[in-house]
A and B are shown apart, each in its own frame.
Chain A
């Protein structure tokens, strides 16, 4: 399974942008980059995914490096409800979503 590397934890302030990095140097051409987050006492929740181009949705933006060896999840204006563990995952094949260690994001009021 292709690996991703994320910082164990990050901290940010409410109403400020947050940039969550992810390295995936062994990514193959057909791997999609998925991001999920897990709030306390809940199952993981889909955030965003992309292949080559930058992507935006109502929750976040995903910036993918030109060589695809890294990506950054951007929360434009963090709220306290964004405190969670964020997982960057390479989706290989149709259905094998394998979670890495993730980044625990703390938001300060």
Chain B
């Protein structure tokens, strides 16, 4: 199994809603990532978890809250988002060793109304 699975594929939410994005991998990888991608732009790194601990936070607003309950699962909790947060949210994983390649999911397309 070499897949990173993201659910849901599409999500529409209001600015007062609370929702969560989910990411799962069963490759035994120990590093997991969240990226945000606006239309026609490159992916931007948000968070990195290494061995279930948050190792990189790229100054992301607190309305985005990551969680890594175990080595296979990564969540992104969303609360009080703004319309400009509408984007494709990509999850990735890697073995966790130095400079290994990343495996990406297909993303969750989020629309904030």
| Interface of B: prevailing SS | strand
Q: Mark A15-26, 1 if CB is under 8 A from B, else 0.
A: 000000000000
- Cβ-defined contact, B45 with A96, below 8 A: yes
Known: A42-B106, A45-B104. A91 touches B42 (CB 8 A): no
- Cβ-defined contact, B101 with A34, below 8 A: yes
Q: Which of B45, B50, B94, B107 contacts A98, CB < 8 Å? A: B45
Complex Cα spacing A36 to B97, Å: 19
Q: Which of A34, A43, A49, A101 contacts B42, CB < 8 Å? A: A101
- Cβ-defined contact, A43 with B55, below 8 A: no
Closest to A1 in B: B45
Interface residues on B, range: 20 to 34
Q: Mark A37-48, 1 if CB is under 8 A from B, else 0.
A: 000011111100
Q: Which of B43, B50, B98, B105 contacts A99, CB < 8 Å? A: B43
Complex Cα spacing A94 to B97, Å: 7
- Cβ-defined contact, A95 with B31, below 8 A: yes
Complex Cα spacing A34 to B90, Å: 18
Most chain B CB within a 10 A radius of its CB, from A45, A85, A95, A98: A95
Give chain B interface residues in 87-106, CB to chain A under 8 Å: 90, 92, 94, 97-99, 101-106
Chain B residues with CB under 8 Å of A94's CB are 31, 50, 97-99
- Cβ-defined contact, A95 with B50, below 8 A: yes
A residues near B (Cβ < 8 Å) are 32, 34, 36, 41-46, 49, 85, 87, 91, 93-102
B residues near A (Cβ < 8 Å) are 4, 31, 33, 42-45, 48, 50, 55-56, 90, 92, 94, 97-99, 101-107
